[in-house]
């Protein structure tokens, strides 16, 4: 059995690199993913974070689309409560016209930032998360073949029928994705606790829709893959340091790796970090293949989506290449 592999790119701004360099690195990552047969590459909306350069997600995707030819591109995801649905319909409708048949629109309901920044983004905080299901339906209406939100018209947007995904780290989005008949992607790369329960709820309650006739699930994991176990573990200390910074509310660029993790993270911090990152795939291709096979058998996911939290751009590309060599990967013939 093999399944598609995809990539969630957090467009990291590493220590010692500029935002401009981070954007170039994301484009190179997308090109590498296409070359090695990944199904899709997504970018995530985060705001006010010194270590992430994908705040203007649709703009970044335009650059990714121009740097590639066939691989699917999309959001993983756009935080819909931050935006009017019409604005997202127009932005992604434009992308769909620029890159026909290649665009996905993954949606989330978290702010993707701190609450002060969320207020600056939304202007009015009242009730917007509570209207998330209605906002998703409104967005669908703008993108449908026939306008369902008259008299408002999304141009570009109408008729593009961009596939929507719901993303989540809890049971809420699993239930909503099932109810709406949409594909579901679980954020087990940073919120693993409800993974199995969310997938079970989604599958048990799925109702077919115009977009999808049966459940389709992807799950995210972090990956640090290298030719030696020692190198993979060394590279992964960047992700561990990043999560320690998040826990400390330290807004810093994506950290460099360290030889001695205890020099950067206190022993008391490690249990929570290890629990959060317990599904991470760290090691040689052979070791990662075994762990990944167990993950797929346990979850029954239809697709894997990897993030590669590796500071060195060349080492990140090498990890993408090595992951694509796994027997479990169902490669796409993009080239």
Query: What CATH number does the domain containing 86 carry?
Result: 3.20.20.30
The contacts of residue 188 (CB under 8 Å, 6+ apart) are 169, 195, 219, 220, 221, 279
Token code pair at residue 87: 């604005």
Asked if residue 86 is part of any domain, the answer here is yes
Please give the residue range of the domain that contains residue 215: 5-324
Asked if residue 329 is part of any domain, the answer here is no
Asked if residue 332 is part of any domain, the answer here is no
Q: Cα 208 vs. chain centroid, distance in angstroms?
A: 24
3-state secondary structure of 235: helix
Asked if residue 335 is part of any domain, the answer here is no
Number of domains in the chain: 1
Asked if residue 191 is part of any domain, the answer here is yes
CB of 301 closer than 8 Å to CB of 279 = no
Could you list the pLDDT tens digit for every one of the 335 residues in the chain?
799 999 999 999 999 999 999 999 999 999 999 999 999 999 999 999 999 999 999 999 999 999 999 999 999 989 998 899 999 999 999 999 999 999 999 999 876 567 777 777 765 555 455 789 999 999 999 999 988 898 999 999 999 999 999 999 999 999 999 999 999 999 999 889 999 999 999 999 999 999 999 999 999 999 999 999 999 999 999 999 999 998 899 999 999 999 999 999 999 999 999 999 999 999 999 999 999 999 999 999 999 999 999 999 999 999 999 999 999 999 998 76
Asked if residue 45 is part of any domain, the answer here is yes
Asked if residue 330 is part of any domain, the answer here is no
Asked if residue 35 is part of any domain, the answer here is yes
Token code pair at residue 112: 């993707």
pTM: predicted TM-score of the whole model, two decimal places:
0.95
């Amino acid at each position: 059995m093999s399944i598609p592999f995809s990539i969630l790119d957090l467009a990291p701004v590493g220590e010692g690199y500029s935002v401009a360099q981070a954007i170039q690195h994301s484009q190179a990552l997308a090109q590498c993913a296409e070359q090695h047969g990944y199904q899709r590459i997504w970018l995530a909306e985060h705001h006010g974070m010194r270590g992430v350069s994908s705040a203007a997600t649709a703009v970044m995707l335009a650059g990714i689309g121009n740097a590639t030819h066939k691989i699917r591109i999309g959001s993983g995801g756009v935080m819909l409560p931050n935006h009017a649905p019409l604005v997202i319909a127009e932005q992604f409708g434009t992308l769909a016209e620029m890159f026909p048949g290649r665009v996905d629109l993954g949606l989330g309901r978290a702010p993707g930032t701190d609450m002060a920044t969320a207020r600056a983004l939304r202007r009015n905080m009242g009730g917007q998360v509570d209207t998330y299901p209605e906002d998703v339906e409104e967005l669908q209406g703008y993108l449908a073949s026939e306008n369902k939100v008259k008299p408002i018209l999304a141009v570009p947007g109408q008729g593009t029928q961009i596939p929507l995904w719901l993303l989540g780290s809890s049971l809420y989005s699993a239930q909503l994705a099932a109810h709406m008949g949409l594909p579901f992607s679980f954020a087990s790369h940073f919120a693993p606790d409800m993974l199995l329960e969310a997938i079970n709820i989604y599958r048990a309650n799925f109702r077919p829709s115009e977009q999808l006739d049966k459940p389709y699930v992807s799950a995210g994991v972090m990956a640090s893959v290298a030719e030696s176990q020692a190198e993979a573990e060394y590279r992964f200390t960047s992700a561990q340091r990043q999560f320690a910074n998040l826990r400390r509310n330290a807004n810093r660029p994506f950290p460099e790796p360290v030889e001695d993790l205890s020099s950067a993270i206190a022993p008391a911090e490690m249990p929570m970090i290890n629990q959060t990152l317990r599904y991470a795939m760290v090691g040689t291709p052979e070791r990662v293949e075994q762990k990944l096979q167990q993950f797929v058998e346990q979850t029954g996911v239809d697709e894997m989506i990897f993030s590669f939290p590796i500071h060195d751009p060349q080492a990140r590309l090498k990890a993408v290449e090595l992951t694509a060599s796994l027997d479990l990967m169902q490669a796409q013939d993009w080239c």
